[in-house]
Amino acid sequence: MARGLIGPREVPRLWERHLLNSAAVAELVPRPCALVDLGSGAGLPGIVLALLLPDVTVTLLEPMLRRVTFLEECVHALGLQNAQVRRGRAEDLAGQLAADVVTARAVAPLDRLAALALGLVRPGGTVLAIKGATARQEVAAARRALGRLGVRSVDVVRAGGGKVDPAATVVRLIAGP
């Protein structure tokens, strides 16, 4: 909170709403793979996934310097050999990064998020967007844009059911060939 990475009202529910919600996404990540956490901010879900999935190479992509500094401190303090921090914007790195999986949490509405994430994922790769209760509405509103972007399939899945309450709601996009 002192660095402005999460809001003051989020502190009491940090564990359930943020950390466990991020951890639930691990079951959707194929392994081994290369993963980019888009707009990593406070390290959610990227840092959590790097901790849980040592056979996944995680790039924490963040444009803001103060957040990059925080993420670098976390990677160092936690000894995460499978994580690196990269400062930059998705639109500037499109075609330069090619991940198997791109994750995002609280980055942008689905149509804009998909445009950013698809530039970072390999053909046939997966975008996992943690969206919450409005996921199905976002998919419906973005369906035309997703088609234009060449998304091969889109579905809304629950991750962590029976382990995390509530389970994480994730929009899973598969990039076209």
Structure tokens at 112: 């804009």
Check whether 76 has a pLDDT greater than 60.
yes
Per domain, the residue ranges of the chain are: 8-175
Rounded to a whole number of angstroms, the CA Rg of the chain reads: 15
pLDDT at 3: 58
| DSSP structure class, residue 167 | P
Using alpha carbons, select from 15, 19, 88 the residue that is nearest to residue 49. Answer: 19
Tell me the per-residue pLDDT of 112-144, one tens digit each, with 9 for 90 and over.
999 999 999 999 999 999 998 899 999 999 999
In this structure, whether the domain defined by 8-175 belongs to CATH 3.40.50.150 is answered with yes
pLDDT at 69: 96
Tell me the per-residue pLDDT of 28-53, one tens digit each, with 9 for 90 and over.
999 999 999 999 988 999 999 999 99
Q: What is the DSSP string of 17-56?
A: IIIIHHHHGGGGS-SSEEEEEET-TTTTTHHHHHHH-TTE
Instruction: Tell me how many degrees the CA angle 43-41-17 measures, rounded to the nearest 5.
Output: 60
Q: Where are the beta strands (DSSP E) in the chain?
A: 33-38, 56-62, 83-87, 99-105, 121-130, 151-159, 168-175
Q: Give the C-alpha separation, 175 to 154, whole Å.
A: 9
Tell me the per-residue pLDDT of 85-122, one tens digit each, with 9 for 90 and over.
999 999 999 989 999 999 999 888 999 999 999 999 99
Predicted TM-score (pTM) of the model is 0.91
pLDDT at 122: 97
